[in-house]
């Protein structure tokens, strides 16, 4: 069930430099329009769960990259704080925000785990979890900085999807391999010195969310574009078991008031 397989935020590669250099091109403008629609779709998933209008919400974007989520979102919500560990990305995001006159968005350089600000109405973690070695640390940031009545959105790749797409071409089964073998695989193809993607399974992600006191509801794509996406959306509608083999997980939730709140929409899977 392949959907949203292309991360609409830039990958953690030097392609970010090319994006900055050709920002005014027709291709980049088209991508910006697509991203704006993506952000609108993303926020529409959260809106039914929110206790206040979007225009009054403070939003935290974890791993904000070039600002391709934060800046479009700033046009809709009250304020945005984006944090990213890459200095070059933070500077490019600030430059773009200045060009867009987005005065209600702030970009900060640093690790999300060191964030000192308080709580937010919305916390986004869009295709970031698979880039950190300690996913529990990042999930705990979501829980720590979410208002009691706030809503989070998390998307990440599935470890068991057979094609790895972070290296510019699909690599069959690399995420299934033990880490030393995966490192060798990447080196053999001259794609880097190691395999630095840390995708996890749905059972593992669900466990992390539960441990950190977060409810969860798996969401299919709002706009399935390809035949595979449409088939995938239909399959998960028939049975939540099909999420185990989805390309990515798209999760919406809040802080759990009690254990019974932690599973929603019938998406209860066993641990086998």
Q: What is the pLDDT of residue 101?
A: 95
Q: How far apart are CA 207 and CA 187, in angstroms?
A: 32
Q: Is the pLDDT of residue 4 over 70?
A: no
| CATH numeric code, 15-161+203-262 | 3.40.50.150
Start-end of H helices in the chain: 15-21, 26-46, 70-74, 87-99, 135-144, 179-188, 202-211, 227-238
Provide the greatest CA pair distance for the chain: 52
Backbone angles phi, psi at 73, to 5 degrees: -65, -30
Better-predicted residue by pLDDT, 63 or 19: 63
Structure token digits, residue 175: 């995420």
Q: What does the mean pLDDT of the chain come to?
A: 84
Domains of the chain by residue range:
15-161+203-262
Q: How far apart are CA 50 and CA 119, in angstroms?
A: 15
Q: What is the pLDDT of residues 221-264, one digit of tens each?
A: 777 777 767 777 888 888 888 888 888 899 999 998 743 344 44
Q: How far apart are CA 10 and CA 93, in angstroms?
A: 12
End-to-end alpha carbon distance in the chain = 20
Nearest Cα neighbor of 60 from 136, 156, 199, 154 is 154
Q: What is the pLDDT of residues 86-138, one digit of tens each?
A: 999 999 999 999 999 999 999 999 999 999 889 999 999 999 999 999 999 99
């Amino acid at each position: 069930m392949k959907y949203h397989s292309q991360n609409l935020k830039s990958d953690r590669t030097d392609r970010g430099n090319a994006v900055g250099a050709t920002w005014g091109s027709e291709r980049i403008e088209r991508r910006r329009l697509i991203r704006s629609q993506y952000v609108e779709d993303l926020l529409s998933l959260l809106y039914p769960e929110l206790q206040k209008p979007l225009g009054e919400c403070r939003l935290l974007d974890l791993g904000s990259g070039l600002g391709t989520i934060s800046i479009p979102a700033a046009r809709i919500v009250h304020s945005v704080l984006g944090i990213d560990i890459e200095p070059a990305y933070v500077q490019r995001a600030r430059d773009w925000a200045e060009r867009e006159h987005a005065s209600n968005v702030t970009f900060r350089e640093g690790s999300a785990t060191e964030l000192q600000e308080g709580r937010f109405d919305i916390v986004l973690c869009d295709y970031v979890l698979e880039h950190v070695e300690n996913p529990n640390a990042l999930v705990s940031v979501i829980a720590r900085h979410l208002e009691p009545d706030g809503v989070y959105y998390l998307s990440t790749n599935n470890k068991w999807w057979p094609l790895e797409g972070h290296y510019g071409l699909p690599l069959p089964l690399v995420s299934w391999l033990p880490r030393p073998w995966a490192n060798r695989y990447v080196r053999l193809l001259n794609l880097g010195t190691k395999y630095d993607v840390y995708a996890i399974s749905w059972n593992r992600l669900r466990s992390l969310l539960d441990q950190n006191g977060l409810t969860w509801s798996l969401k299919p794509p709002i706009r399935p574009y390809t035949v595979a996406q449409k088939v995938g959306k239909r399959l998960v509608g028939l049975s939540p078991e099909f999420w185990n083999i989805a390309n990515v997980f798209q999760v919406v939730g809040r802080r759990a008031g009690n254990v019974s709140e932690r599973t929603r929409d019938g998406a209860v899977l066993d641990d086998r």
